[in-house]
Amino acid sequence: MAKFKLEYIWLDGHKPTQNMRSKTKVVEDFNGKLEDCEVWSFDGSSTEQASGGASDCLLKPVAIFPDPVRKNGFLIMAEVLSADGTPHESNARAAIDDDDSDFWFGFEQEYFLMDTKTDLPLGFPRGGFPGPQGKYYCSVGGRYTWGRDIVEEHADLCIEAGLNFEGINQEVAPGQWEFQLFAKGAKKAGDEIWIARYLLDRLTEKHGYYIEYHPKPIKGDWNGSGMHANFSNTTLRTCGSQETYEKICEAFRPVTDEHMEIYGEFNDERLTGDHETASINDFSYGISDRGASIRIPIITVEKGWKGWLEDRRPASNGDPYKIAGRIIKTVKSANIS
């Protein structure tokens, strides 16, 4: 009988930044269907999710993807449940109010490729700095571009895994890159970001690199890393009304603090009002304005106010489940049918 490797992936209970955990379950004659993935368990006392005296937590499979590296392998995204079968307090996915998948999300995941030998981004010399920003963004050639080999390999893995992977580009600092994913449904969007992160992190193990998701790992006159959240629902995609767009944007203003609480640890170091960011202490929106909290894309305006919005505040280390869930709650609070 054929053996299959099912890699169960979940988020631990560390606060405020959760980490990915995973372990392998070997099964026989698996058909590749989510409904045939069993609920599994793990030691929650080792992941800040349970006490030693009652350590069992459950893993509920919620999404499945073929593993592009392992023979007969599958990647299983799982929600964490308490022993009684209810969602664990660390399980933000279960709290997302988007059962009809009306909300679509496109996340832009920025990150730094770090050299394990120097703990510096690729392209940063030991004991010094490269030339200033300006020539690295979307650059070509060995003088200004570092890490393309692993970035291309990661893109291939994501596509082979069936993720709706939409693009890659080098960002404005040496060793800084971005990939984009899009999904119809907030939970699906979160699943795909976490699986893409898993594939990227696992890939670094053989290259001598690691991924830095800190939103401001290099201090000084360098851009930080974000995870811009492009979002829409039926109203935004079809309303054709500037007034409606502005009403939805204004719904974000009074809950700025609530958004900042879950948009990523150390985000205050990135959201300074400089380097294409709005200040963490302010809220703003504007057409084609990358210095605003929320950017109204010019394409949305040109299509007669039918399209999407971009929240530029989420940090690169943010949890897409929490971010999407909070955005949905705020949009719905505008009470536009």
State how far the Cα of 70 lies from the Cα of 151, in Å rounded to an integer: 19
Are residues 213 and 317 in contact, defined by beta-carbon separation less than 8 angstroms?
yes
The predicted structure's pLDDT at residue 220: 83
> For the chain, how long is the longest CA-to-CA vector?
62
> Residue 154, SS3?
helix
Element (H, E) at 325: helix 320-333
From residue 62, how far is each of 77, 323, 326 by CA, in Å?
6, 19, 20
What residues form DSSP beta bridges with 329? none
Fold of 3-91: Ubiquitin-like (UB roll) (3.10.20)
What number is the average pLDDT over the span 142-152?
95
pLDDT at 128 > cutoff 80 = no
Q: What is the DSSP string of 98-125?
A: -TT---EEEEEEEEEEEETTTTEETTPP
In this predicted model, what pLDDT tens digit does every residue of 284-301 receive, in sequence order? Answer: 999 999 999 999 999 999
How many helices and strands in the chain, by DSSP H and E? 7, 14
Confidence (pLDDT) at 303? 97
Q: Does domain 104-333 have CATH number 1.10.760.10?
A: no
pTM for this entry: 0.96
Give residue-wise pLDDT tens across range 9-65: 999 999 999 999 999 999 998 999 999 999 999 999 999 999 988 899 999 999 999
What ranges in 205-316 are assigned the alpha helix state H?
A: 234-238, 242-252, 256-262, 298-302
Strands (E), the chain: 3-11, 20-28, 40-43, 56-66, 73-81, 104-115, 120-121, 165-170, 176-184, 209-212, 227-232, 285-287, 294-296, 309-311
- Integer Cα distance of 283 and 294 in angstroms: 8
pLDDT, tens digit, 9 for 90 and up, residues 303-329: 999 999 999 999 999 999 999 999 999
Reference 13, options 40, 42, 53, 39; nearest CA is 42
Supply 135's token pair. 């020539």
| 35 close to 54: Cβ distance less than 8 angstroms | no
Which SS3 state, helix, strand or coil, does residue 43 take?
strand
pLDDT digits over 165-222, tens only?
999 999 999 999 999 999 999 999 999 999 999 999 999 999 999 999 999 998 888 8
**Domain range annotation of the chain:** 3-91, 104-333
